[in-house]
Amino acid sequence: MPGEGADADPTVLITETAHGPRIHAVNRAGQEAGAMAGMMLADARTVCPSIQTAPADPAGDLACLEKLAVWAQRWGPWSALDPPDGVLVDTTAAAHLFGGETRLLADVEAAFAARGYAVRTSIAPTAGAAWALAHYGPPRSILSANDNMNRALAELPVAALRLDDDVLTVLRRLGLKRLGDLADITTGAVNRSEEAARDALHRRFRNRKSPSANPLIRLDQLLGRVPEPLLPVIPQQMPLVQRRLMEPLRHRSLLDRVLADLAEDMTRELEGRGEGARRLELGLWRVDGEVIVRRLELAAATRDATHITRLFEEKLDNIDAGFGIETVRLRASWAEPLAAEQGDVEAAAERHGTSLAACIDRLSVRLGPDAVRRPVPHASHLPERAQSWHPPLEGAWPVQTEPVRDRPLKLLDQPERIAVLYASPDGYPQRFRWRGQVHEVMRVEGPERIAPEWWRVRSTVRLRDYYRIEDADGARYWIYRHGIVGDGRGGMPDWFLQGLSA
Amino acid sequence: MSAHTLSAEEIAAISKAREGRWQPGLRDQPLHSEIFASARDASGAGLALALARDALEATAQPEGPLAEADDRRHVLWVQDARAVQMGGRPYVHGLPEEFRERLIHVEAHKPEDALFALEEGLKCRDLACVIGEIAGNPRVLDFTASRRLSLAAEKHGIALWLVRIEAEADLSSARMRWRARPAVSKPPLWNADAPGVPAWQAELFRARGHAPGQWTLTYDKGRLSARSASQVPGTLEHAAPPYPGRLVRPTVGRSLAAVARA
């Protein structure tokens, strides 16, 4: 409970920064002891040596806030996050269900207090006004649509506009401390000097398009003159099926049976949602508390139970059941929409062969995901960079490549060095030795000069002169001379064989 | 019409029955072929692609309102790690135009994985054809394995061209077995010193339903053309005009009259 037990001691949450630990949040006892959020821990320790520390967890806080926002939909049809520590709920036409707005706020405070949270609440016609009142207004303040918002909010500080720190500094230097000051200038204009002040303010923030950097936009949002779109939180349930077993499983055949049942359940679950699984996770809880997780990624969304079972069976071979497995859980942590289709697919597959997606799934499960790929053109002049490898069913976005002629059918992974005999260093190759055998060059075309990509590599990388050649037997190769004589980037150029033409 | 006059179709049928020789553009191509080639050039893969294009062209659906405008099925190309190391990987800019966006490449570490991939590919109804490259004579690629591939190919009607790099022609159930070597290409019209359209010396040394033979094959202008090796002189025939000093082609080989007489 707040203020009791461990919370009675001054405690701070810290984040590690480049300059040492910095305080992220402080409890009430810590505040009384003199610590503040944003302070260095060392400074806080001098004020209060007995301070307790714990690491902060911003990602965990955000996840908690998301859950809280979903839970807060009990007071209104939709809610939005207000990181780091706020939730906005739309209670339009919902307050009467709780017996009026006052009682609604009382209900909110009671519900949060029961869960050990401290909360500040308010209700206002706009999200901005509600935020301002909750952070800087009196507790449980309620502003109805009939009230004059300008007057009701005039006494709040300009920080209630949800502005960036640097904008607040500017406003403070201009002497604009309360919302009333700002509102008077932007609307009032009773004499020349106020008109000039208004123009100056407009000019000052003319180029600030982001609401949090422009107090005028924020003020309009606060007063409801311009819309402020909010992103609602929509809960997503992950499809999950599980079996708690009476007897712990110790044998593979039983596990296969349970897996098949789970796959059937998962198929039904996915069918109901009109989705197919892209990633499946199988968790096996052992009696001794150990959890074994097997993960499966699929090339295309599927809800074919036999297919899922077969793919998982490959992954279950090296499972150590220990004293037995008591719970098996299958969840689809990534699902994509998949329309319902005609049944009896498995029998059709038996007769007509598998589909391409199923074939690729089987291949990538056995051979590894990187073994099955598709070559796609890549925008580059360098031959080895002009091709990149993509997952097989993923569409590649179109790349602008100029049509290249007469490229070899196959490219070696590494260009292989060859010893070349030539009449002159810049001339055509006449004979070369590759992998211990000599080839006479009978026909040659070139050079095709390909310069290094100077925007990527060092200035000392040499250019390449490519030649298409055919030897006395008719074998066709693609070789290049790495550099030219006297380019100042090394000695005599080396020759390499890079491609084999059909 | 007398009984001795034969129509052109009948002559063609007779000549085919008599020879049973392979020729490009046959509609009933066998579905499992092996091509033996050296690792020092890409003739094996080149010939496999040329035969695959020829077969796909021959078995394409006839023109009609329901015919697909374009064959968009994928082509599976399986290589084992040694084949990749010896001969490199397919290069998208060097592939035939129609295969460029349709290729799925599988790199298997071991020959048994490559065989698994080939068989899975043959079972897949959405593929146009399967091309494999396996180096050497691995123990797992025995007669049983090749029989499995033949049966899978024939059951699902997907064709397989398996390039055997630096391999001995041991027992296999492949329906056609080729031996490929590069051949000197015809010089291009505009630059006689440049390498021309790829050509291969292809020897069909074992086939079911076809007599063995040897051809020089080229895939040019969208079709596979073959010259019988016996017709081709060893020298470059195009270095000189074909029939110097004579206007009429000499009657070499079979004439239509000879066929009709028989």
Is residue A187 pLDDT above 70, yes or no? no
Spatial distance between the Cα atoms of A364 and A314, rounded to a whole number of angstroms: 11
Position A264 confidence tier, pLDDT thresholds 50, 70, 90: very high
Q: Say how many C-beta atoms besides its own lie within 10 A of residue A368's C-beta.
A: 13
Identify the three-state secondary structure at position A146.
coil
Which residue do the tokens 């590894």 mark? A368
**A265-303 pLDDT per residue, tens:** 999 899 888 889 999 999 999 999 899 999 999 988 888
Spatial distance between the Cα atoms of A78 and A88, rounded to a whole number of angstroms: 9
Residues of B in contact with A411 (CB under 8 A): 88-91, 94
Residue A17's H or E segment, with its range, is strand A11-17
What pLDDT does B151 receive?
92
For the segment A247-264, the average pLDDT, to the nearest whole number, is: 91
DSSP A322-373: TT-EEEEEEEEEEEEE-----S-HHHHHHHH-B-HHHHHHHHHHHH-TTTEE
Locate the chain A residue with the closest alpha carbon to B111: A367
Is residue B234 pLDDT above 60, yes or no? no
What residues contact residue B252 under an 8 Å CB cut-off, 6+ apart? Answer: B231
Phi, psi at residue A215, to the nearest 5°?
-65, -25
What pLDDT does A271 receive?
87
Spatial distance between the Cα atoms of A176 and A174, rounded to a whole number of angstroms: 6
Position B239 confidence tier, pLDDT thresholds 50, 70, 90: very low
Token couple for A324: 């037995």
Locate the chain A residue with the closest alpha carbon to B127: A356
What pLDDT does A150 receive?
81
For the segment B226-232, the average pLDDT, to the nearest whole number, is: 68
In this complex, the residue of B91, B191, B196 whose CB is nearest that of residue A410 is: B91
Please give the C-alpha separations between residue B242 and each of A317, B10, B236, B255, in angstroms, as whole numbers: 68, 31, 10, 19
Spatial distance between the Cα atoms of A240 and A335, rounded to a whole number of angstroms: 11
Give the HSE-up count for residue A118: Cα atoms under 13 Å, Cβ half-sphere.
Answer: 7
List the Cα angle A421/A457/A483 in 5-degree steps: 15
In this complex, the residue of A373, A411, A476 whose CB is nearest that of residue B198 is: A476
| Angstroms from B125 CA to nearest CA on chain A | 5
Among A141-150, A253-262, A369-378, B187-196, name the one with the lowest average pLDDT. A141-150
Residue B131's H or E segment, with its range, is strand B127-135
Is residue B35 pLDDT above 70, yes or no? yes
Please give the C-alpha separations between residue A214 and each of A61, A123, A166, A208, A463, in angstroms, as whole numbers: 28, 24, 11, 6, 53
Locate the chain A residue with the closest alpha carbon to B86: A412
Spatial distance between the Cα atoms of A443 and B184, rounded to a whole number of angstroms: 10
Mean pLDDT across chain A: 88
**A418-460 pLDDT per residue, tens:** 999 988 888 899 999 999 999 999 999 988 999 999 899 888 8
In this complex, the residue of B41, B125, B191 whose CB is nearest that of residue A500 is: B41
What pLDDT does A338 receive?
86
For the segment A390-407, the average pLDDT, to the nearest whole number, is: 77
Position A237 confidence tier, pLDDT thresholds 50, 70, 90: confident
The CATH architecture one would assign to domain B29-61+72-183 is 3-Layer(aba) Sandwich (3.40)
Spatial distance between the Cα atoms of A414 and B171, rounded to a whole number of angstroms: 34
Residue A134's H or E segment, with its range, is helix A127-136
Locate the chain A residue with the closest alpha carbon to B104: A374
Task: Select from A432, A459, A422, A464 the least CA-distant residue to A447.
Answer: A464
Which residues sit opposite A464 in a β-bridge?
A450, A482
Query: Fold for domain A241-346?
Result: Dna Ligase; domain 1 (3.30.1490)
What pLDDT does B243 receive?
46
**How much is the CA Rg of chain B, to the nearest whole Å?**
20
Q: Which CATH number fits domain A5-56: 3.90.930.12, 3.40.50.150, 3.40.190.10, 3.40.1170.60?
A: 3.40.1170.60
Position A397 confidence tier, pLDDT thresholds 50, 70, 90: confident
- The full set of domain ranges for chain B reads 29-61+72-183
Please give the C-alpha separations between residue A502 and each of A120, A124, B41, B44, B145, in angstroms, as whole numbers: 75, 75, 8, 8, 28
Residues of A in contact with B85 (CB under 8 A): 413
Residues of A in contact with B185 (CB under 8 A): 443, 470, 474, 476
Is residue B227 pLDDT above 90, yes or no? no
Instruction: Judge contact between A389 and A460, C-beta under 8 A.
Output: no
Instruction: Judge contact between A468 and A502, C-beta under 8 A.
Output: no
**Given an 8 Å threshold on Cβ–Cβ distance, is B121 in contact with A359?**
yes
Helices (H), B68-209: 81-87, 111-123, 143-156
In this complex, the residue of B91, B100, B104 whose CB is nearest that of residue A392 is: B104
Identify the three-state secondary structure at position B202.
strand
**A348-392 pLDDT per residue, tens:** 666 667 888 989 999 999 998 899 999 998 888 899 999 999 998
Position A399 confidence tier, pLDDT thresholds 50, 70, 90: confident
What pLDDT does B235 receive?
41
Which residues sit opposite A372 in a β-bridge?
B106
What pLDDT does B240 receive?
42
Burial of A26 by CB count in 10 Å (0-12 exposed, 13-18 middle, 19+ buried)? buried
| Angstroms from B182 CA to nearest CA on chain A | 5
What pLDDT does B173 receive?
92
Residues of B in contact with A469 (CB under 8 A): 195
Instruction: Judge contact between A266 and A303, C-beta under 8 A.
Output: yes
Is residue A402 pLDDT above 50, yes or no? yes
Please give the C-alpha separations between residue A436 and each of A35, A417, B165, in angstroms, as whole numbers: 77, 11, 18
What pLDDT does A282 receive?
93
Cis amide bond preceding A447, omega within 30:
yes
Instruction: Judge contact between A30 and A48, C-beta under 8 A.
Output: yes
Burial of B210 by CB count in 10 Å (0-12 exposed, 13-18 middle, 19+ buried)? middle
Mean pLDDT across chain B: 82
Token couple for A102: 């006052």
In this complex, the residue of A371, A408, A412 whose CB is nearest that of residue B94 is: A408
What pLDDT does B238 receive?
45
Spatial distance between the Cα atoms of B72 and B104, rounded to a whole number of angstroms: 13
Q: In chain A, where does the domain assigned CATH 3.40.1170.60 lie?
A: 5-56
pTM: 0.62
**Given an 8 Å threshold on Cβ–Cβ distance, is B49 in contact with A409?**
yes
**B86-128 pLDDT per residue, tens:** 999 999 999 988 888 899 999 999 999 999 999 999 999 889 9
Share of chain B above pLDDT 90, in %: 50
Q: How many A×B Cβ pairs under 8 Å? A: 171
For the segment B131-136, the average pLDDT, to the nearest whole number, is: 95
Helices (H), chain B: 8-19, 43-58, 81-87, 111-123, 143-156, 256-261
Token couple for A124: 């206002």
